[in-house]
Amino acid sequence: MKPQYFRLNTAFLLLVFLFVVLGNLPRFVPIAGSFGNINASELVLYLCAAPILVKNFKRLITSRAVLFLLCLNTFSLGVGIYHYGAASDAIFYNIRLSAMILSAFAAGVAMHWIFRDDISRLAKAFTITYGVATVFSFVVLAMYPDSTVLWLKLEQMGINFTGDPHQFRLVSTYLDPNFFGTIIVLPILMATMVIRHTHYFAIFLLMVVALLFSFSRSGISLALFAFACLFGIRLLSTVTQYQMKRIAVRPAHVYFLLLSPFLILALIYSFDSQIERVIERFTTTAADNSALSRVRAFQTGVDLIAERPLLGHGYNFSIRQLFKTGTKVDSSLQLVIISYGFVGTLVSFIAAGVWAWVISSKLRLLASPQPYLLFKKLVVYTALTLLWAGHFNQIVFYPFWLLPVLALFFYFDQLCVSLKPHHFARSRHATLAYSL
């Protein structure tokens, strides 16, 4: 790699690191504008993605994934303008979403330049990044155990930010415990790939404790479902290998399995009051005002979908109706259908499924199993987020979730593009995947 390319990609990934770690804290530096306060780090990130995109323009215009997402967003913008006219705020959010997609592609390309196919280094980088974000989040908790004090502080600074009241919950640098609970699950999954190193194991435990301190039902259940799903896939694979007489058990797996009960007991003993509160959060769901408000929000989503079921309202164009009625939509899946309709959503799901199959078919034939294992974790996490955790908060279009997840997908896309045909000669299915 040319030195200037290395410096450019490293500098941009450093910006992504700061973006993820600082979260919404840059809101303390308000930027006045007709659309309200914009996160300063988000604006800087979009602007600094431009040099990466220019340097990799050929990669950009030949990436089917990027072109599909941009075309989908543009079509959604056209649908919204057709139904509601040129609403400036909705157009702004559509432009912002396109900028987010392009910035995620720039981050994916930069990661490919820096890490290549070294998944261990990539997993370590993500673990460290979110480990630092977790430390900052505990600092926020120590400074503002009552979140309403923080919201008042922001309001006094002229920053328009609306948040729910939380007592002794890890609202994190994202200023929302439920968003944090969902976001932190992916780095926890990635950290399992490097926990054989003591310091990364410590970061893994720190993130698990942070997840518990978020008291997020959606985040904690997402983690449990993700680990259960991945364990089920692993168990099925192990049975298949055993039947084919190709099973191999690593000593590290045995050690981790033996130590797991003791680690769980240690966590329960050390954080018994927090775990008791987590259990209470789940057992009192039926009478919880927060849960009941989400039921009402779900019905609002159903009503909006029924108004324009085929092509949707256009991304963020329905928000005016919500403001008029004083209601909201929490479900990310509903928001996707509201924005793109059943037609756009179905086409997107089919395209994503085909793309994931193509990528996984290529990754499975690499000498190292690590790329395929990480991609599998990423797909399982994303699917469960959309189909489960995303029902309880609008996480899918949230920049601190969407940008890193898209960046990882684009990283794998660029990794497969860089591979040569002879890597896939051992399987007719992989050969077909390469042709696609």
Rg over CA atoms, the chain: 22
The candidate with the shortest Cα–Cα distance to 60, out of 413, 434, 435, 305, is 413
Tokens 């040569």 -> residue: 420
Over residues 234-249, mean pLDDT: 62
In three state form, how does the secondary structure of 5-46 look? HHHHHHHHHHHHHHHHHHCCHHHHCCCCCCCCCCCHHHHHHH
| Average pLDDT of the residues of the chain | 84
Helical residues (DSSP H) of 63-87, grouped into ranges: 64-84
Backbone angles phi, psi at 167, to 5 degrees: -110, 120
What is the C-alpha to C-alpha distance for residues 413 and 378, in angstroms, rounded to an integer? 13
Number of domains composing the chain: 1
pLDDT tens sequence across 166-195: 888 999 999 999 999 999 999 999 999 998
Range of the domain at 280: 3-435
pLDDT tens sequence across 246-276: 555 555 555 555 566 666 666 555 555 555 6
pLDDT tens sequence across 296-323: 777 888 888 999 999 999 998 887 667 6
Residue 110 has what DSSP assignment? H
In angstroms, how far apart are the furthest CA atoms of the chain?
A: 67
Residues 411 and 126 sit within 8 Å (Cβ to Cβ) = no
Tokens 């399987």 -> residue: 427
CA distance readout (Å), 94 to 80, 143, 211, 267: 10, 35, 32, 44
Residue 146, strand partner residues: 167
Q: Is 435 helix (H, G, I), strand (E, B) or coil?
A: helix
